[in-house]
Amino acid sequence: MPRSTVRLQSWLPIVLVVGLLLIQIFSPARPIMFILIVLMALLLVAFVWARGLARGVSIMRKRRYGWAQVGDVIQERWTMHNDSFIPVLWAEVREFSNLVGYDASRAIGLGGRSSHAWSSRGVCQLRGIFTLGPLRVTMGDPFGLFRVELFDDHTDTFVVYPAVSDLPQMVQPRGFAHGVGRHSLRSLDITTNASSIRNYAPGDALKRIHWRTSARRSMPEQESLFVKEFDLEPIGDAWIILDMDHSVHAGEGPESTQEYAVALAASLANQMLRANRAVGLATHNGGPVLIPPQKGHQQLWELLQVLAGVYAEADMSIAELLRLCLPAVGRNITVVVITPSSDGAWLHELATLMGHGVHTSAVLLDAASFGGQNGSEGIHGALADLGVEAYVIDKSFRFVPTVKKGRQDPEYKVLGTGRVIRVNPTEEAEWVPVGLSEGDQL
């Protein structure tokens, strides 16, 4: 619950009052009495002023958008109410969020029986899971004798997803209809690939019967039924295996292999999901993280939420991660490895996946261009010898953000008639109360 405190800034006025009172008792004098009365009156007025502020001032905050991506704008609307007749000569609003690039602190004044509204904004510079709050409002009386603090220790989680960018076609997952042959294994389920027919056997479903063939091939003296056999559909599912081993990453902040790797994983997932592929993710974030492949827009946000909190702090090498993923990856699945590792030990695990019928690709981050010791030339050549398609990304690579409708700030212009119109129309978003409900006060 929000709480308020009133503190005496210094004990000196109390000491003076007590001292003057003792002097007045043992050696009465009119000047001392006058000073004593003035000091006591100041203390009383200051205390009443401070108590009025503590009871009458409240503040509300509402946030526009419940989440953001790197490069988006976070915006909050603040409203401070003063229900007492005592004016707020000064107030310091401090918001202790850890969101990089955002500072909502402000100093304001407020009259009695009035309200004041303002907005704060900032640019989300880094991905991550951040907290907004706690909140502290500091006020005081005009004499500086008492300090009033309103404090709300409630914190609200704010997720900044990685930016999604348009990438060149780095990966060609299996399952594209480019004239490739059908799968050689039969399917017990009905698929879109009917490959052959066979004689009816007890237990076959009636919907599998091919009636035209049965009618054409039936003997006059004996009726016979034929059922369709189906091939497994070509699979276009993909696994993105993201290396978060702290020992292989280089660089700091946005210009690091860690951030480039996460941005590549998010952008590749978006690219393949938009192509109606099922995409999964395997990485390490305090423990192994395996998200099975799924299709759809919801899968993208699930992957982005995981990627928002993934950092290069793992002790698990990419070779161990590949070995862990082996039981979960089936035949004809595409595996995309994103790593800055120049250690060839993980190539053995990659070859094992290929031996199980897994199509593999790699996106290599050139750690040397980020200030690391080893480059990607050797590992790139070894992958070429294995027949693995690899794409090298260095520090000079520039991500081109995908245009997001409704996530940019609207711009306005005034026509000659005086009408105000929006230059770049965007979706309207509700202002969401943060921490406090609509009617709650701090």
The DSSP line for 140-201 is E-TTS-EEEEEEE---EEEEEEPPPEE-------TT--SSPPPPSSEESS--S-EEEEEE--
Q: Is residue 43 part of a domain?
A: yes
Both 245 and 358 in one domain: the answer is yes
The first and second tokens of residue 337, run together, are 């490895």
Within a domain: residue 178?
no
Q: What is the pLDDT of residue 180?
A: 36
Do 247 and 294 sit in the same domain of this protein?
A: yes
Q: How far apart, in whole angstroms, are the C-alpha atoms of residue 435 and residue 437?
A: 7
Q: Retrieve residue 21's tokens.
A: 């009172």
What is the distance between the alpha carbons of residues 78 and 120, in angstroms, rounded to a whole number?
A: 8
Domain count for the chain, please give it: 3
Range of the domain at 209: 186-231
The pTM of the full predicted model, rounded to 2 decimals, is: 0.76
- Cα dihedral: 342, 345, 346, 351 (round 10): 120
Task: Tell me if 153 is assigned to some domain.
Answer: yes
Element (H, E) at 442: none
Would you call 42 exposed, middle or buried from its count of C-beta atoms within 10 A (0-12, 13-18, 19+)? middle
**Where residue 244 sits, what CATH number does that domain have?**
3.40.50.410
Residues of the chain with pLDDT below 70 are 1, 172-195, 218-223, 230-236, 403-442
Question: Are residues 20 and 158 located together in one domain of the fold?
Answer: yes
Query: Do 298 and 203 belong to one domain?
Result: no
> Which of 418, 412, 375 has the alpha carbon at shortest distance from 394?
375
Residues 277, 234 contacting (CB under 8 angstroms): no
Instruction: Mark whether 159 and 23 lie in a shared domain.
Output: yes
Q: How many CB atoms lie within 10 A of CB 330?
A: 13
Would you say residue 433 lies in a domain? no
CA distances for 323 relative to 206, 239, 289, angstroms: 43, 14, 14
Q: Is residue 426 part of a domain?
A: no
Give the pairing type, strands 334-339 and 359-365: parallel
User: Per the domain annotation, does 343 fall within a domain?
Assistant: yes
Query: Are 314 and 337 contained in the same domain?
Result: yes
Please tell me the predicted confidence (pLDDT) of residue 442: 34
What is the length of the chain?
Answer: 442
Give Dmax over CA atoms of the chain in angstroms. 138
Residues 412 and 39: beta-carbon distance below 8 Å:
no
What pLDDT is stored for residue 48 in this prediction? 96
- pLDDT score, position 187: 46
Note whether 225 and 245 are same-domain residues: no
* pLDDT for the residue 286: 84
Neighbour tally for 298: CB within 10 Å: 10
Same domain, 206 and 290: no
Residues 20 and 99 grouped into a single domain: yes
59 secondary structure, DSSP code = E
Same domain, 302 and 208: no
With beta carbons less than 8 A apart as the criterion, state whether 57 and 88 touch. yes
Dihedral angle at the C-alpha atoms of 310, 312, 318, 324, nearest 10 degrees? -40
For residues 313 and 223, membership in a common domain is answered with no
Residue 348 covered by a domain: yes
Question: For residue 46, is it within any domain?
Answer: yes
**Between the CA of residue 160 and those of 67, 70, 89, 274, what are the distances in Å?**
6, 6, 37, 21
Domain check: are 38 and 8 in the same one? yes
